[in-house]
Structure formats: C-alpha cells, structure tokens
C-alpha cells in the first residue's frame, strides 16, 4: 500500500510521507493536498489509532473521500475527515456543552447567518444600517471592539454617526451583551467555538479531554494551516504535547484572513519549533506557466523558496492593461480571444468586489444578493443544463433549500438553531428538503419574465410549505420578483454559458484555479501606515494586501493580466525588475 501511494507522487511530494515530516511549506499548485491525502491513506491503513485529516475547505476532504473509495473503512471511526471547525465541535465543544445545556449547541459559520434581529447591532433611536455582529471581536478580557477592516461602506457611515453622538461605548457594550448571551445559550459562530475549545482544553478537566483525544488519534493532519488562528495553533500544541503526531501543511503567503485571526507569523513561529529534519518544502508548481510562476514568486514575501514550474513551456507574457475599468475589460476579452480561452474559463478578481465588477461591466453581485427572489433566480439559472459546474450546481441546490426554510415563520427558540434542528422540528429529513428544492427548481425553468418568476415561485413554495407544522411568512412580502439586473444576468447565463465573464473577490476563490485571470488594481489604493500595496512590493514588506495579490495571481494557469489603470507604468516596472516577461496594452 505504501509503495503504491508513494509511486503516485513526485519525489518532492513523497517527502511528506516520511515519518519525521511535521511542517510542510507548500507553494501554490504544488499538489500539497494530494500528498497530504496520500499520507492520510498510508497512516490510516497502518495505524491502530485513528488519523484525522483537517482542512479549512472541503477540497482536501473531498479528495480524501474519492481516493478512499476502494477502502471505505478509512472513512469510519476511529478516523476523521472534515474541517478543523467540525473536529473542534464534535470532539471538544459539543460533549462539554451538552452536559451544561442539556441539549446540543448550535454552530454557525458566522453571526451573519443569524436572523437580522441578532445579526445586526443597532442603537435605539439612531437611524442607519447598524453594524453586523460579526464585525465585533471580543478581547481576552471579554470586551467587544469593532474590526474596522470588516466594515462595509454603509456600516462605516453608521459608525461615524455613532461616534458623532458619542455612543460608541454603548454600541460595543450592546455587541458584548449580544455575543455573551448567544454563547451562554449555546449558540456559536466559528471564531467563538474555536476559543471555547481552547478554554475547555486548557482549563479544569482539559487534561482528560486531551487524554481521550490522544487515545483515539495517533496523528492529526492539517491542510491550509496558514489560516489557523492563535487558538487553533495553541490546540495543536496541546495535542503535540500528548504525543499526537501533528503535521501541518501551509503556504504562509496565502494567509489572507487576518479578520479571523490568521497571521503568517503564527505558522512561521510554529514551524521554528521543529528541527530541520521535520520540515518539507514543496515549491514545484504543476498549475501555472513559467512566466506566471515568476510573477507569483516576486509577489510572495513570507515563503522561503521560489515557485518553479514543473516543466519549461512556451507561454504568453504577463499582460498589464491600462485605461478605464471598461477598457481593461475589453482588452482582457481581446487577449482571451487571441489565446483561445473562453470567457467562462476566465475570471476577473479584485480585493473588493466592486472593482472586479467594474471591469466585467456591471455584473451584479448575484450570488451574494440577500433578497430571496434574487437568490432563487440565480440558483435556478445555475441549475440549467450547461451553465454551472458540479460545485456551483451543488451550491445552487443548497441555496434553494435555504430559501425554502427561510420562508417559514420559525418560533423564537428555533431561530438560532441550525438546519438539522429545524428539520427535526418539522419531522422531516434532509432528503425531503433536497427533493423539495429539486421540485422548486424544476418548476421555475423556462419562465419568460421576472414577474412570472415571482408569481410561480410563490405558488410552488406555498405548495411545498402548506403541509408543515410551522406557519409560512407572507410570501408576497418576503419572496418578491428578482431585481431587473439579476434577472438580466441570469438570462445571459442561460443564453450563452460560455460567454459569461465572472467577477469575484480574491478571498472568494482561494483554492480555485482558472485558465485566465485578470487582477483589477483600482486607481485609489487603500493605504496602511501611509503605504499602499505597490509600495509594499517595492519595499519588500510582508503585508496582507501584498499576500492578497499573490493569492489572486497564483489562481492563473495560462494567462495572467493585471488591470492596473493609472498604475500601469509602475506595475510594469515592478514586474520587469523581477525578471517577468511583460506585455503592456
């Protein structure tokens, strides 16, 4: 078994299978997930104790499950495959909290998923949008403070009004009381659950929990470890102290989630706690061309090795395009035509969604629209033949399911519960919800106008919900026709699936890859300590803004374009100084 798995890997990747390997620094496109899964398969097959494979995304989990198809026993206890949050919930927080609460706790990815009355903090008598609860952070003393980097423009405006009224302390106290109340009721977002897990392990009785984990798991593998926050690294150290083999795989330059506590220095500090023989370097890139690899190399700041292509190949230069966002979009489409890449295989990326949308030409933020009619229309378009890939179709089905459940007038004690608890209250199973979503989507195909779509959507969802024990909301109020821009976008997707050029944030595509990528650099660049991202590149500074550019550029397989606008000359000079072959248009 071991030799077979090793034979599937390159010599560089196979180093991860060696027993001493504990810290793996892996560049983009290096096959790190594949190598980590190979180690999981090998160790899970040979070990008497369980092996846990943890990741921040489902990519590693999905690959592990597919590779274990011939050995399904590896997917069963004592082994565990899942996200790091799921691991902490299942084995640490849930057992302890169930004893206190006498019922299961509820977990949400973000406070933003809660009903608005919980998810938004507002001061009574002060008009405005309020501020999302997820924008507040509790410090070690339990006091709440706003993370300014997370605020949307309308929230920033509301905060200014709060400060003008000298009510910021009141706002923070409201957020503190809201978060504390939710946690006391057993309702957690991902961040608060991670902190609670550490408190359980480091407090009274923590030794017994750690002993139980050590008896079950002989090895814990963590993918994308650069996204671990301080609490998660502390938990990994506690496991390591119990003689559990902890293996982490990370690219410190892909640490772009500072708002959730991620910091490349946390990984680098953890790495420095290990001897040289425990460290593995994966720097060969199997995704991108040699020119793109060179561009990606000069963007990285925390990593120690150059990104090298798996093979020399003829390839186009890195393009730098100037002009207005609309002109950049036109030039990008021309480049795609010249190199034979369909728009559907390309993407426009930016730190901020609005900057990417401007290049595409008004593409609305359809997938993130909060209105139920908009979400439903977009999901149904994704489910049309030839439009969405497997991942987007699965996400579309989940979106339809969410819309169905959101149309029920849930009692207050269930509003903070997750999907499983709500389905149990309805005496329904997940397969009922999946079938209902399929029926809704099937009945909303080939609708000629958005007005008819709204009418038909209300009819079919009313039919689905009528037999249930929980009453419906007023569907005319909560399920309206999709907005015109959303509808037009959906119609374009269906009419010409291959001709649609998508726009997305760089954070939103982490872990993905595309044949062609345009990185939109706005004319007005945000500054930190008086320096913008181009200053960071020139100075060699390791900042999150620079790492975001690195992540965006490393998504490209064959074509990389920088939509630099007013900064075109400077971007070109920075690339040329780094020995990148550049063509400016």
Domain range summary for the chain, segments of one domain joined by +: 6-92+193-282, 110-188, 292-357+501-584, 372-482
Q: Which residues contact 367 (CB under 8 A, 6 or more apart)?
A: 378
Q: How far apart are CA 181 and CA 526, in angstroms?
A: 36
Please tell me the predicted confidence (pLDDT) of residue 361.
80
Q: How sure is the predictor about 369, in pLDDT bands with cuts at 50, 70 and 90? A: low
Q: Range with the lowest mean pLDDT among 295-304, 494-503, 529-538?
A: 494-503
Q: How sure is the predictor about 259, in pLDDT bands with cuts at 50, 70 and 90? A: confident
End-to-end CA distance of the chain: 53
Q: Which two tokens stand for residue 579?
A: 């020995």
Please tell me the predicted confidence (pLDDT) of residue 395.
85
- CA neighbor of 378 nearest in space, from 510, 494, 224, 263: 494
Please tell me the predicted confidence (pLDDT) of residue 252.
94
Angle between helices 153-164 and 168-184 (to 10 degrees): 120
Greater confidence, 6 or 309?
Answer: 309
Class of the domain covering 6-92+193-282:
alpha beta
Please tell me the predicted confidence (pLDDT) of residue 162.
95
Average pLDDT over residues 390-398: 85
- pLDDT tens digits along 131-157: 999 999 887 778 888 988 778 888 999
Runs of H (alpha helix) within 190-301:
190-202, 206-216, 230-241, 264-272, 290-299
Q: How sure is the predictor about 59, in pLDDT bands with cuts at 50, 70 and 90? A: low
Residues in the chain: 585
- At residue 260, the 3 state secondary structure works out as helix
Q: How far apart are CA 546 and CA 554, in angstroms?
A: 12
Task: Count CB neighbours of 138 within 10 A.
Answer: 17
- Contact at 8 Å (CB) between 459 and 444? no
Q: How sure is the predictor about 4, in pLDDT bands with cuts at 50, 70 and 90? A: very low
Q: Which two tokens stand for residue 537?
A: 């590149």
- Mean pLDDT of all residues belonging to the chain: 91
pLDDT exceeds 70 at position 364: no
- Contact at 8 Å (CB) between 154 and 129? yes
Q: How sure is the predictor about 367, in pLDDT bands with cuts at 50, 70 and 90? A: very low
Q: How far apart are CA 66 and CA 43, in angstroms?
A: 17
Q: Which two tokens stand for residue 98?
A: 């169930």
Task: Count CB neighbours of 10 within 10 A.
Answer: 15
Q: Which residues contact 35 (CB under 8 A, 6 or more apart)?
A: 9, 13, 14, 16, 17, 24, 282
pLDDT exceeds 70 at position 365: no
- At residue 205, the 3 state secondary structure works out as coil
Q: How far apart are CA 363 and CA 259, in angstroms?
A: 27
Q: How far apart are CA 30 and CA 12, in angstroms?
A: 9
- Contact at 8 Å (CB) between 29 and 297? no
Q: How far apart are CA 391 and CA 246, in angstroms?
A: 30
- Contact at 8 Å (CB) between 299 and 28? no
Task: Count CB neighbours of 166 within 10 A.
Answer: 8
Model-wide pTM > 0.95? no
Q: Please state, in angstroms and as integers, the Cα–Cα distance from residue 118 to each residue in 49, 79, 192, 217, following that order.
A: 42, 37, 15, 38
Please tell me the predicted confidence (pLDDT) of residue 49.
95
Please tell me the predicted confidence (pLDDT) of residue 363.
46
Q: How far apart are CA 97 and CA 182, in angstroms?
A: 13
Please tell me the predicted confidence (pLDDT) of residue 306.
87
pLDDT exceeds 90 at position 441: yes
Please tell me the predicted confidence (pLDDT) of residue 1.
39
Angle between helices 290-299 and 568-577 (to 10 degrees): 100
Task: Count CB neighbours of 207 within 10 A.
Answer: 13
Does the domain at 292-357+501-584 match CATH 3.40.50.300? Answer given as yes
Strands (E), 101-211: 106-108, 120-121, 131-132, 136-138, 144-146, 187-189
Q: How sure is the predictor about 3, in pLDDT bands with cuts at 50, 70 and 90? A: very low
Q: How far apart are CA 350 and CA 441, in angstroms?
A: 32
pLDDT exceeds 70 at position 362: no
Average pLDDT over residues 270-280: 96
pLDDT exceeds 60 at position 2: no
User: Fold identical between 6-92+193-282 and 292-357+501-584?
Assistant: yes
Average pLDDT over residues 497-509: 84
pLDDT exceeds 70 at position 366: no
Average pLDDT over residues 247-271: 90
Share of the chain above pLDDT 70, in %: 96
Q: How far apart are CA 585 and CA 569, in angstroms?
A: 11
């Amino acid at each position: 078994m071991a030799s077979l798995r090793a034979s599937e890997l390159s010599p560089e990747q196979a180093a991860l299978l060696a027993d001493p390997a504990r810290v793996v620094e892996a560049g983009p496109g290096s096959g790190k997930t594949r190598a980590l899964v190979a180690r999981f398969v090998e160790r899970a097959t040979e070990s008497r104790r369980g092996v846990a494979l943890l990741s921040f995304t489902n990519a590693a989990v999905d690959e592990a499950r597919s590779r274990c198809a011939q050995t399904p026993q590896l997917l069963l206890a004592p082994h565990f495959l899942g996200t790091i949050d799921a691991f902490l919930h299942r084995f640490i927080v849930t057992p302890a909290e169930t004893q206190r609460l006498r019922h299961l706790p509820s977990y949400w990815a973000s406070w933003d998923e809660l009903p608005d009355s919980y998810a938004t903090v507002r001061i009574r008598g002060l008009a405005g949008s309020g501020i999302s609860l997820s924008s507040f952070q509790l410090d070690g003393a339990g006091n709440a403070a706003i993370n300014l980097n997370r605020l949307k423009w309308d929230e920033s405006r509301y905060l200014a009004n709060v400060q003008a009224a000298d009510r910021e302390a009141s706002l923070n106290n409201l957020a503190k009381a809201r978060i504390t109340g939710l946690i006391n009721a057993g309702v957690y977002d991902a961040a608060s659950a991670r902190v609670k897990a550490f408190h359980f392990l480091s407090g009274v009785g923590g030794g017994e929990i750690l002993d139980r984990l050590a008896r079950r798991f002989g090895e814990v593998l963590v993918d994308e470890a650069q996204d671990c926050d301080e609490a998660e690294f502390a938990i990994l150290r506690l496991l390591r102290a119990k003689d559990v083999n902890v293996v982490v795989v990370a690219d410190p330059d892909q640490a772009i989630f500072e708002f959730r506590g991620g910091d490349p220095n946390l990984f680098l500090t953890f790495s420095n706690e290990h001897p040289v023989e425990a460290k593995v370097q994966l720097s060969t890139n199997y995704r991108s061309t040699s020119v793109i690899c060179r561009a990606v190399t000069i963007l990285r700041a925390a990593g120690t090795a150059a990104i090298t292509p798996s093979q020399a190949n003829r390839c186009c230069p890195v393009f730098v395009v100037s002009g207005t966002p609309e002109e950049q979009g036109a030039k990008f489409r021309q480049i795609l035509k010249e190199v034979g890449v369909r728009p559907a295989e390309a993407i426009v990326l930016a730190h901020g969604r609005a900057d990417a949308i401007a290049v595409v030409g008004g593409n609305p933020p359809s997938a993130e629209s909060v209105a139920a009619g908009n979400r439903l229309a977009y999901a149904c378009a994704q489910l049309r033949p030839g439009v969405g890939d497997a991942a987007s179709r699965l996400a579309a089905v989940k979106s339809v399911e969410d819309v169905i459940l959101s149309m029920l007038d849930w009692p207050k004690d269930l509003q903070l519960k997750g999907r499983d608890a709500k389905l149990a209250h309805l005496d329904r199973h997940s397969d009922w919800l999946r079938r209902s979503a399929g029926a809704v989507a099937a009945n909303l195909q080939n609708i000629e106008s958005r007005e008819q779509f709204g009418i038909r959507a209300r009819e079919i969802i009313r039919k689905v919900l009528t037999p249930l024990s929980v009453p419906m909301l007023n569907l005319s109020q909560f399920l309206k026709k999709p907005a015109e821009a959303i509808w037009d976008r959906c119609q374009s997707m269906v009419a010409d699936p291959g001709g649609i050029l998508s726009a997305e944030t760089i954070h939103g595509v982490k872990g993905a890859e595309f044949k062609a990528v345009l990185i939109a650099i706005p004319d007005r660049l945000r500054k930190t300590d008086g320096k913008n991202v181009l200053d960071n590149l020139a100075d060699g500074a390791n900042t999150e803004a620079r790492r975001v550019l690195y992540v965006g550029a490393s998504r490209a397989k064959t074509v990389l374009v920088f939509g630099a606008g007013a900064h075109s000359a400077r971007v070109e000079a920075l690339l040329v100084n780094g020995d990148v072959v550049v063509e400016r248009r």
